[in-house]
A and B are shown apart, each in its own frame.
Chain A
Amino acid sequence: MEPLHGDDKPHLPPPSLWPVGFAIGVACVLVGLIVRPLLIVPIGVAIIIVFGFLWARDATRGFRGAVSEVEPERRPSRRRRRAAAPPAHWGEAGMPEPEPGELERFPRSRFLEGATLGLGGVIGGLVTVPVLGPAIAEAFLHQHRGDLDLGPIANFPLGKFVITTFFTDPAEGAVSRRTAYIRNNGDSTGGPSFTIISNRCAHLGCPVQPNGPVFDSQKKSTTTKSAGEVTLTPTLPAGFGCPCHGGQYDKEGNRTAGPPVRGLDRYDYLIRDGHLVLLKAYSVGHVDGTGANAKIQRYPLTNPGDHVHGIESWLYPLQPPH
């Protein structure tokens, strides 16, 4: 298709970088007015003056007189006193011939190639490696949480299970709410004994429910600094059951039916100033006996669905830090 306006060529100066520098100077002044006027605005003005001058000089080149030819000054060369260099085709090659099969490249270009790739690799690494910190490492570091104060021991009736909800991080709100089934077993050798069972099903993590009546009207609530609002609701379970896939547990958390691969997890605890304080959770293989006399096969806290004992436990040798 024919050009609309004929073939006239525009009278534009050849491309140059001076306008870019000028624009940078203007931007510098505008930003400096906001950020730190006394320091940055003079810098921007200086950039504007320098690049503006260079731009104007370039743009007006056609209108000024031609530069007069001046013969460059030459210093008498000292080299004339020494022997002249031999012509290039005399003597041996300055560089070895390439071996058969080797690429015929000058070493300098190969060096530049390697340097470019290497520098590109370094820059790529500089961008990628810091990203791995938040993306991957953060999920595995800083996982420890503090102890959770669940209130006075007196709130936990003797021999009965209580559905206890608490916050592992009250500042985060409801997303950190957790539930445990806590039974006060009374005193035994070594102080008050509690059975504290996590409600996280050992199959795939659904919330396990008590198989029995729940007395909502008798719900009590306290607030502590470390655990936020702690609610205690009495219940009379014959065992625990998971609504998701039908896993069943007995009152000590042992698996009795369904797909779970082990018993329910438990919490370590201690009594501090008459308050029940929750420590870290741990996983359980099997519990023999009941209440204060329970013998618990302890394992480090394990992902739901992972075996802790038996031959399948060889598939899960390591657990990430909890």
Chain B
Amino acid sequence: MLFYPIDWLEERSGLVGGIRYFLFRKVPADTNWMQTLGSATLTAFIVQAVTGVILAMFYKPDPRTAYQSIQHITNDVTLGWLVRGMHRWGASVFIILMFLHMGRVFLFGAYKYPRELNWIVGVLLLAMGLGEGFTGYLLPWDQTAYWATVVGININGTAPFLGPFLAQFLRGGAEIGPDTIARFYSIHMLLLPGAIAGLIGLHLYLVVRLGVTSPPWSKEAAGAERAEPEPPSDARRGLLQPGARGGIPR
């Protein structure tokens, strides 16, 4: 009787089975604690998303009102100081965890075949995470935010050939103005979180599909053997190879 709602949901969607498959899938016996950094990064992102949603209910993205709305959040709104602090420090936590996770994947060789695509997706996620930090930094609209963004955009402008155009595109004009803060807000709140969420979905799908690797000191080798040399053109490779574990390589 206790599980009736879960069974109701499972009969009508199959989702419960999917979640069980994700939570109870097989991983190597010698999986290391360092391999939790990816989940930690995801948690940091979720914290950012949730606190960001709350902040967006009070923040006013206009040059005339942005700073006051932040003051309002910090001083007046119930536990506003806490939500703002979580978001601000959570941003640094997110970036640091991403780098640690990337370093762990690299040092474990977990980017090798067949996980190259997952590594590429991870690099895109890193770039977008840094973009979130860059666009979010301007939003408090104080002196630090303003001048750091001026300098950051102008650094972009020093790239050869297209640099000045990229800088003008970011600024929304020849100089930082009211368009800039709205543009950064839209990128920070809508464009990048959507893209990051989508790519995280792909990243997790690939992790589940490809499996978790053992640490480098493990007796079992990580990655998979490549297909036989010189396969015929219609041989099925990589994930397409039927294997003992239903096509999922170790």
Question: Could you tell me which A residues sit within 8 Å of B by CB distance?
Answer: 1, 136, 138-140, 143, 168-169, 172-176, 204-207, 244, 301-306, 315-322
Contacts and interface: CB of A to CB of B under 8 A. Distances in A.
Interface in B150-197: 150-151, 153-155, 157-158, 160-161, 163-165, 167-169, 171-179
Contact of A174 (B63, B157, B164): B63
B147 interface: yes
A316 B161 contact: yes
Given A139-B173, A204-B154, A204-B155, A306 B168 contact: no
Interface of B: 7, 11, 63-64, 147, 150-151, 153-155, 157-158, 160-161, 163-165, 167-169, 171-179
B181 to A, nearest CB: 8
Contacts of B164: 302-303, 306, 316, 318-320
B60 to A, nearest CB: 14
8 contacts: A139-B173, A168-B175, A173-B64, A175-B178, A204-B150, A207-B147, A303-B163, A320-B165
Contacts of B63: 172-175
Contacts of B153: 205
Contacts of A322: 174
Contacts, number: 81
Given A173-B63, A206-B150, A244-B147, A306 B157 contact: yes
Given A204-B155, A206-B147, 14 more contacts: A1-B11, A140-B165, A140-B168, A140-B169, A143-B173, A169-B177, A172-B177, A175-B176, A204-B151, A205-B153, A305-B154, A305-B158, A316-B164, A317-B161
Nearest to B159: A315
A139 B178 contact: no
Nearest to A173: B64
Given A173-B64, A304-B157, A205 B151 contact: yes
Contacts of A319: 164
A305 B157 contact: yes
B99 to A, nearest CB: 25
Most interface-central of B7, B151, B153 (chain A CB within 10 A): B151
Contacts of B163: 303, 306, 316
B94 to A, nearest CB: 26
Contacts of B161: 315-318
A319 B163 CA distance: 9
Contacts of A317: 161
Nearest to A304: B154
Given A172-B63, A174-B63, A316-B160, A303 B172 contact: no
B158 A306 contact: yes
A143 B168 CA distance: 10
Contacts of B176: 175
A1 B157 contact: no
A319 B165 CA distance: 7
A315 B154 contact: no
Contacts of A306: 157-158, 163-164
A227 to B, nearest CB: 15
Nearest to B10: A1
A315 B157 CA distance: 12
A139 B171 contact: yes
Contact of A138 (B151, B154, B172): B172
A139 B168 contact: yes
